Amino acid sequence: MDRTDVDVLVVGSGPAGSVAARYAAESGASVMMIERRPEVGVPVRCGEFMPSNEEIGLMFPGVQDLGSLFDIPESQICLHTDGIKLVDPKERVTVLDLKGYTVDRDRFDQYLADAAVSAGAALVRKCSFYGIENGEARTNQGNIRYKVLVGADGPGSKVAQSLGLPRNHNPYPAVTSQVKGDFDPYLVMFFGDIAPGAYSWIIPKDGRANVGVGFSPKRTKNATVGEYMDRFVEKHGFEECSRLKGKYVPSEGPIARTVAGNGLVVGDAAGQVISVNGGGIPLAMIAGRMAGRTAAEASAGKCGLDRYEGEWRAVMEKPLKTAAFNKKLADTFAFRSETSTTLCMRLLGQRRLGNLIRCKRIFP
């Protein structure tokens, strides 16, 4: 490691970390981003779906200058998708016109990390954050001094823990695999015993698809996520072409505080995930930009880190709390059995299911 003294230290090179590092560097701070993995974005543990910019704007109308943040080059896009198909346990399909696109998360994360490096951030791989010691970050490559610490280290954030911030409660396990074949340009979500308390999915790419399963640990019947995935693969006769990869997804919305002292957390580390569908990439990027800019200015003494907390909550808190509330309704009324799931999905119908997916109120 060349430098051990920086304005802004970012832990984690997922979308939240890379975007934060980029905007902190563009705002004039000296930035180091550390990543425990040898290669950014590898292995992929994600469904790799992104809603269109128009949909992100509808879900989070307060986002400023959305176009420049999500100016994703066509070369990064595997497939443009026309909508989402929701399949109830009796296999009745509801089609939503929510457009989006799919990416290869390894290439996508590397693209975002390259943008951070081009902006001047130093990227150090194979560097694990262990904790805070006398105001410095303790890592396997030695201690690093910083003015502001940004925790973008995912759902089980060590940075959040070290800063004394709350943890994500009740994260859901989810696994994914790449399979071969030609699939319709629709994201397909399957509900019922195939994925208790959540859903299994087919997310189409070019001549491939990302398939996976997530579930609520409280609702599983003594089976592991791998066993659920085996059933899903067997049911659809997928030709698996990659090993199974898994991770946890925050399921209860944002944590109560995301700033403490001279540190903050962002992305999955902050629970900035849509509870009803597990989507978190756009949120990690939106909050990452706010985190990076504020961290840089705070390191120069121009503002406090509380500005970040205020900014992201102004844009995301209401939709994320609505999504978390809708998820609780689903847990209480829909996910009790296959019959109740079917009944609730039919009662809600296409318009309300569309609202549910888009973080909007489903009643009145």
Ligand X SMILES: Cc1cc2nc3c(=O)[nH]c(=O)nc-3n(C[C@H](O)[C@H](O)[C@H](O)COP(=O)(O)OP(=O)(O)OC[C@H]3O[C@@H](n4cnc5c(N)ncnc54)[C@H](O)[C@@H]3O)c2cc1C
Tell me which residues touch ligand X (CB under 6 A): 11-17, 34-37, 45-49, 128-129, 152-154, 158, 174, 176, 212, 247, 249, 267-269, 273, 278-281, 284
Q: Tell me the closest approach of the beta carbon of residue 29 to ligand X, in angstroms.
A: 19
Q: Which residues pair with 77 in a beta bridge?
A: 103
**Which residue(s) pair with 12 in the sheet?**
none
Q: Judged by CB, which is closer to ligand X: 96, or 281?
A: 281
Report yes or no: 193 and 338 within 8 Å, Cβ to Cβ. Answer: yes
What one-character DSSP code corresponds to residue 334? I
CB nearer ligand X, residue 80 or residue 92: 80
Q: What is the full DSSP assignment across 3-51? A: -SEEEEEEE--SHHHHHHHHHHHHTT--EEEE-SSSSTT-S--S--EEE
Closest to 43 (Cα-Cα) out of 210, 206, 168, 205: 210
Q: Which is nearer to ligand X, 144 or 273 (CB)?
A: 273
We find the least distance from the C-beta atom of residue 73 to ligand X, in angstroms, to be 18
Q: How far is the CB of 302 from ligand X (least distance, A)?
A: 25
Least distance from C-beta 100 to ligand X, angstroms?
Answer: 9
Nearer to ligand X, 275 or 342 (CB): 275
Cα 364 to Cα 32: distance, rounded to the nearest angstrom: 48
Query: What's the closest the beta carbon of residue 246 comes to ligand X, in angstroms?
Result: 6
Write out the DSSP string of 208-263.
EEEEEEE--GGG--S--HHHHHHHHHHHHT-EE-S--EEEEE--S-S-S--EETTE
First to last CA, the chain: 57
- Shortest distance, CB of residue 307 to ligand X, whole angstroms? 20
> Minimum CB separation from ligand X for residue 268, in Å?
4
Question: Is beta strand 208-214 parallel, antiparallel or unpaired with respect to 200-204?
Answer: antiparallel
For ligand X, the closer CB: 15 or 319: 15
CB closer to ligand X out of 37 and 318: 37
Q: Which helix (H) or strand (E) holds 201?
A: strand 200-204
* Closer to ligand X by Cβ: residue 209 or 344: 209
Contact between residue 44 and residue 310 where contact means Cβ atoms under 8 Å apart = no
